[in-house]
C-alpha cells in the first residue's frame, strides 16, 4: 500500500484549478447538475473537495496541521467516489483519490481515525466476518429461501472454476438479489461455486476508511479460499465488492490468476451469445428508466496497475503510467442489458458514466455521516426525477439502500428486472406483463 509521502507529486502539482468539483465541460447542460463532488456541493467550501483534501494531506504530511476537532469529520465526509480524481486527470497527471485514501490510512496509523461508527463496523467484521455483526452462519441463508425454504435457490457446481461472491449487503439485506443472480446464471447454464460459509467480507469498507492492516487480512483470507477452491473467475453481484477486488486487492496481491466480473457483464455476455432468452416486446417502451452508475463499478471499476518509475519535468512519468482515468470502468454492460429488456426505455442523467454522481453511501459515509449520505441521495434522486425517468435502476446494494430512503422514485435492481423477465418466459409480451 502506498503511503502519504508517495503522493507528494500530487500535493505539489495541485494548482487549485477547481476542475475536481465539476463535470467535464462537454457533458455540462447548465449550472444545475454541473457539480460532481457531493461534499463540495453540500458545503460550498474548498476544504470539502478533492482539492481541499489534497491540500490537507500535504499539511498533515508536513506536520503543519494538527488533528483539531472537526478535522477527522471533514476527512471522513468524503465518499471516496473518485469524481475528483477522474476530472482532475482530464487536465493533469495526479492521484487525488489515492491521496485521500492514504490520508485516511495515515489518520488510522496516527491513532486518530477512523470514526467510532467505522470502528464498530470493523469489530463486526473481525467477530462475524460481515459489516453488520450478524452471525456468520446466516451468511448463506439466501440459499435455502427459494420456494418458501423448501428448495435451495442454488446448489452450485462444486468443481466449477467460477464462483459467485455475494457480499455482506446482498447476503444479509437483499437475499432475493442473490437468488435472482443464481436464477440468471442457471438460466444461462453458467457453472459456478457457491462459497457459502467460506465467504467473508471483501474488506472494502475497511480499505476505504483507511484501515489497511485489517483490509490486508481480508485480502489474504478471501484469496486463500478462492485459490484453494481453484477459482479462476469471480462473479460479484455487488459493485462495492467489484471495485474492491479490482482496485484494492491488486495493491497487495497481483491477482493475475483470477478474473473478476460483475453480474451485469456476465448477463451482457450471455445475451450476446444467445444464452439467455428474454421476452419479446409487443408494444413500444412503457417504462422510462434512468441508470445510476455505482462509483465502484463505473469509474472506479478499473483494475489497479502498480507503477514504479521517475516523475520528470512537467509531471512526465517514465515509464508512462497506466493511469486509472475511469475510461475502462463498467458502463456499457448494464446499459446493454437494460436496452435488451422489453418495454424499457433508457434515458440518461446529466451526471453519468465517468461523471456519475455518487449516491452518497460510499467511503464509510453512510455509516459515519448518515445525514450527508441522505442529502446526497436526495440530490441524486432530484436529478433522476428531472431526467423524466419513472424509475431508477442500479446494481449495487449500497446505492439501493441509500436511494430508497424515501419512495419519491421507484428503484429496481438490474438483476431483479432480468430475473423477472426470464421468469415471464418467451414470448411474454410487454413490460406491463412482466414488470407488474
SS3 content of the chain, % helix, strand, coil (to 5): 45, 10, 45
> Would you say 75 or 154 has its CB closer to ligand SF4?
75
Residue 96 or 167 having the CB closest to ligand SF4: 96
Binding test (CB under 6 A) with ligand SF4, winner from 82, 114, 175, 248: 82
One of 58, 80, 177, 415 touching ligand SF4 (CB under 6 A): 80
Quote the least distance from Cβ 21 to ligand SF4, whole Å: 7
Please answer whether residues 293 and 346 qualify as being in contact, where contact means their C-beta atoms are separated by less than 8 angstroms: no
Instruction: Say which DSSP state 304 is in.
Output: P
Q: Which is nearer to ligand SF4, 17 or 280 (CB)?
A: 17
Name the nearest CA neighbour of 366 among 65, 5, 105, 80: 80
**Using CA atoms, how far apart are residues 240 and 126, in angstroms rounded to an integer?**
19
97 lines the binding site for ligand SF4 (CB under 6 A): yes
Angle of CA points 27, 92, 331, to nearest 5°: 40
Measured from the CB atom, the residue of 58 and 193 that comes closer to ligand SF4 is: 58
- Residue from 4, 11, 23, 37 touching ligand SF4 (CB under 6 A): that is 37
Task: Choose between 79 and 222: whose C-beta lies nearer to ligand SF4.
Answer: 79
CB 72 within 8 A of CB 115: yes
User: Does 329 participate in binding ligand SF4 (rule CB under 6 A)?
Assistant: no
Hey, which residues between 341 and 370 contact ligand SF4 (CB under 6 A)?
358
Taking residue 31's Cβ as centre, other Cβ atoms within 10 Å add up to 7
Helix (H, G, I), strand (E, B) or coil at 22: strand
> Nearest-CA neighbor of 146 among 183, 101, 120?
183
Confirm or reject binding of residue 421 to ligand SF4 (CB under 6 A).
no
Query: Are residues 41 and 379 in contact, defined by beta-carbon separation less than 8 angstroms?
Result: yes
Report which of 286, 277, 271, 289 is spatially closest to residue 431, judged by C-alpha positions. 286
Query: Which position among 83, 337, 403, 421 is part of the footprint of ligand SF4 (CB under 6 A)?
Result: 83
- 17 to 36, contacts with ligand SF4 by CB under 6 A? 17-20
Q: Which of 11, 14, 263, 287 binds ligand SF4 (CB under 6 A)?
A: 14
Instruction: Pick the closer one to ligand SF4 by CB: 79 or 244.
Output: 79
Number of chain residues interacting with ligand SF4 (CB under 6 A)? 28
> What is the closest distance, in whole angstroms, from the C-beta atom of residue 44 to ligand SF4 in the complex?
13
**All 3 cell numbers of residue 415?**
438483476
**Closest approach of ligand SF4 to the CB of residue 153, in Å:** 36
Work out the number of other CB atoms within 10 angstroms of the CB of residue 308.
6
Q: Tell me, what DSSP letter sits at residue 408?
A: S
Smallest separation (angstroms) from ligand SF4 to the CB of 18: 5
Query: Looking at beta carbons only, is 179 or 380 nearer to ligand SF4?
Result: 380
> Of these, 58, 96, 185, 329, which contacts ligand SF4 (CB under 6 A)?
96
Q: Output the smallest distance, CB 161 to ligand SF4, in A.
A: 35
**Least spacing, CB of residue 362 vs ligand SF4, in Å:** 8
Instruction: Determine the Cα angle at 261 with ends 260 and 263, to 5°.
Output: 145
- Assess 376 for contact with ligand SF4 (CB under 6 A): no
Which are the contacts of 276, defined by CB distance < 8 A and separation ≥ 6? 184, 187, 188, 267, 270, 418, 422
Please identify, using beta-carbon distances, which residue of 58 and 80 lies nearer to ligand SF4: 80
- Which of the residues 49 through 78 are near ligand SF4 (CB under 6 A)? 49-51, 53-54, 78
- CB-wise, 81 or 396, nearer to ligand SF4? 81
Q: Which of 27, 42, 92, 217 binds ligand SF4 (CB under 6 A)?
A: 92
CB-based contacts of 53: which residues, under 8 Å, 6+ apart? 47, 75, 78, 96, 99, 100, 103
Cell numbers describing residue 257:
490468476
User: Minimal distance in Å, beta carbon 347 to ligand SF4?
Assistant: 24
> Residue 28 or 146: which CB sits closer to ligand SF4?
28
The 3-state DSSP class for residue 287 equals strand
Q: Which is nearer to ligand SF4, 54 or 234 (CB)?
A: 54
204 binds ligand SF4 (CB under 6 A): no
Going across the sheet that includes 287-291, the strands are: 344-347, 287-291, 391-394, 411-413
The binder of ligand SF4 chosen from 88, 103, 190, 238 (CB under 6 A)? 88
β-strands 233-236, 162-165 pairing: parallel
Residues in contact with ligand SF4 by the rule CB under 6 A: 14-20, 37-39, 49-51, 53-54, 78-84, 88, 92, 94, 96-97, 358
Amino acid at each position: 500500500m502506498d503511503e502519504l509521502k508517495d503522493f507528494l507529486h500530487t500535493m505539489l502539482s495541485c494548482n487549485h484549478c477547481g476542475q475536481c468539483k465539476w463535470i467535464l465541460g462537454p457533458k455540462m447542460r447548465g449550472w444545475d447538475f454541473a457539480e460532481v463532488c457531493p461534499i463540495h456541493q453540500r458545503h460550498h467550501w474548498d476544504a470539502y473537495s478533492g482539492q481541499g483534501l489534497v491540500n490537507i494531506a500535504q499539511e498533515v504530511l508536513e506536520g503543519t496541521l494538527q488533528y483539531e476537532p472537526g478535522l477527522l469529520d471533514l476527512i471522513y465526509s468524503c465518499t471516496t467516489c473518485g469524481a475528483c480524481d477522474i476530472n482532475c486527470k482530464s487536465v493533469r497527471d495526479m492521484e487525488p483519490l489515492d491521496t485521500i485514501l492514504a490520508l485516511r490510512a495515515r489518520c488510522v496509523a496516527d491513532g486518530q481515525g477512523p470514526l467510532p461508527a467505522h470502528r464498530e463496523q470493523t469489530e463486526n467484521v473481525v467477530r462475524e466476518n460481515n459489516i453488520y455483526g450478524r452471525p456468520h452462519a446466516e451468511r448463506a441463508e439466501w440459499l435455502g429461501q427459494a420456494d418458501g425454504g423448501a428448495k435451495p435457490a442454488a446448489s452450485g457446481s462444486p468443481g466449477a472454476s467460477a464462483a459467485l461472491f455475494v457480499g455482506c449487503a446482498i447476503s444479509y439485506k437483499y437475499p432475493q438479489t442473490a437468488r435472482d443472480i443464481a436464477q440468471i446464471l442457471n438460466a444461462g447454464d453458467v457453472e459456478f461455486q457457491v462459497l457459502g460459509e467460506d465467504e467473508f467480507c471483501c474488506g472494502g469498507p475497511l480499505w476505504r476508511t483507511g484501515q489497511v492492516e485489517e483490509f490486508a487480512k481480508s485480502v489474504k483470507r478471501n484469496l486463500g479460499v478462492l485459490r484453494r477452491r481453484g477459482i479462476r473467475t469471480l462473479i460479484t453481484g455487488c459493485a462495492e465488492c467489484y471495485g474492491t477486488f479490482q482496485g484494492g486487492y491488486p495493491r497487495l496481491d497481483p491477482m493475475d490468476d483470477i478474473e473478476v466480473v460483475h453480474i451485469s457483464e456476465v448477463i451482457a455476455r450471455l445475451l450476446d451469445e444467445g444464452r439467455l432468452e428474454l421476452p419479446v416486446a409487443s408494444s413500444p417502451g412503457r417504462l422510462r428508466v434512468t441508470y445510476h452508475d455505482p462509483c465502484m463499478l463505473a469509474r472506479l471499476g478499473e483494475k489497479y496497475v502498480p507503477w514504479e518509475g521517475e516523475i520528470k519535468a512537467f509531471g512526465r512519468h517514465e515509464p508512462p503510467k497506466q493511469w486509472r482515468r475511469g475510461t475502462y470502468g463498467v458502463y456499457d454492460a448494464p446499459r446493454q442489458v437494460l436496452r435488451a429488456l422489453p418495454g424499457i426505455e433508457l434515458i440518461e442523467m446529466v451526471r453519468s458514466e465517468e461523471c456519475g454522481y455518487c449516491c452518497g453511501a460510499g467511503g464509510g459515509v453512510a455509516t459515519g455521516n448518515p445525514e450527508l449520505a441522505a442529502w446526497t441521495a436526495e440530490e441524486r434522486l432530484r436529478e433522476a426525477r428531472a431526467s423524466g425517468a419513472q424509475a431508477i435502476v442500479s446494481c449495487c446494494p449500497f446505492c439501493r439502500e441509500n436511494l430508497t430512503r424515501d419512495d419519491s422514485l421507484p428503484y429496481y435492481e438490474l438483476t431483479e428486472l432480468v430475473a423477472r423477465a426470464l421468469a415471464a418466459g418467451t414470448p411474454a409480451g410487454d413490460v406491463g406483463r412482466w414488470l407488474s
